[in-house]
Amino acid sequence: MKKKYKFTFFHFFILFVISISCFLSPLFGEDTQRPPIDINLIIDGSAAFSNVREEITSWILERLDQIMANGDRVTIWNTEAEAKIIYSGIVNTSTEKEAVKRSIMELSASGDNPDFSGALREAARRRSSNFNYTLLISTSSEALNSVLSGPQANLLRYSRIEEFSSWRALVVGLNIDTRVRNAASDFLAP
C-alpha cells in the first residue's frame, strides 16, 4: 500500500524560500565586475582651457569616479600645439587613481590650436581591450572644426556631444566601425 505524502504549510514555505533565493541570488549575490576597458581622455590644451579649467576638471573627475574600475588602462592626452601623453597606466589601486586625478588637475594650457587629430589617431591605434571609452574635451569650436574637416574626421563619426556654456565633451566611439557594419549586415540579412 502506497503512502500519500501530504504537503503542509511548512513544506510550501521552504519551497517558496528556495525559489525566491534562486531568483534573487544573481541580483544580490557576488559583486560581478566588468572586464577592464581602455579609457582615453583627450583634453584641450589651448589657452581657452584656462578660462574654464575648474569647471572642466571637476566634471571630468566626477565622471571618472563613475567610470573607472580596477584593471582599466587610462591614457590622458594634453593637446597643446602637439598632443602629448601626460599619464598612461593600468589603474588597480587608490594611489594610481589619485595619480590619474592629479595629472588632470595639473594640466597646462597654451597656444591656440590643440592637436586633437594627433591624439585621436594615436588613441585609435592603441588598443588593449575589446571596449574603449574615449572622452574628448574641447573649449574651442575652431579647433574642433579643424578636426572635422581633416583626415581624422572619420574617427568622430560615432560620437555623442554634450554641450556646456563654453566647452564641449565628446564621447567618441573609436574603432567601432566594423562592429557597426557587422551589426547592420546581421540585421539586414534574411
Q: Are 78 and 84 in contact (CB under 8 A)?
A: yes
- For the chain, which residues make up each domain, given as ranges? 38-179
Q: What is the pLDDT of residues 83-113, one digit of tens each?
A: 999 999 999 999 999 999 999 999 888 878 8
> How many Å is the maximal CA-CA distance in the chain?
96
3 state SS of 136: strand
The one-letter amino acid at 161: I
Q: Which of 42, 65, 78 is nearest to 170 (CA)?
A: 42
pTM of the model: 0.74
pLDDT category, 30, cuts 50, 70, 90?
A: very low
List strands edge to edge, sheet with 168-172: 83-91, 72-79, 38-44, 132-138, 168-172, 159-163
- The upper half-sphere exposure of residue 184, i.e. CA atoms within 13 Å in the direction of its Cβ, equals 6
CA-to-CA dists, residue 2 to 5, 28, 111, angstroms: 9, 43, 92
Residue 8, C-beta contacts closer than 8 angstroms, at least 6 positions apart:
none
* Most trustworthy range by pLDDT among 13-27, 61-75, 117-131: 61-75
Please report the pLDDT score of residue 189 as a whole number.
74
Nearest to 155 by CA among 111, 103, 118, 127: 118
Assigned CATH topology for domain 38-179 = Rossmann fold (3.40.50)
- Taking only the tens place, the pLDDT of each residue in 124-151 is 888 776 788 999 999 977 777 777 777 7
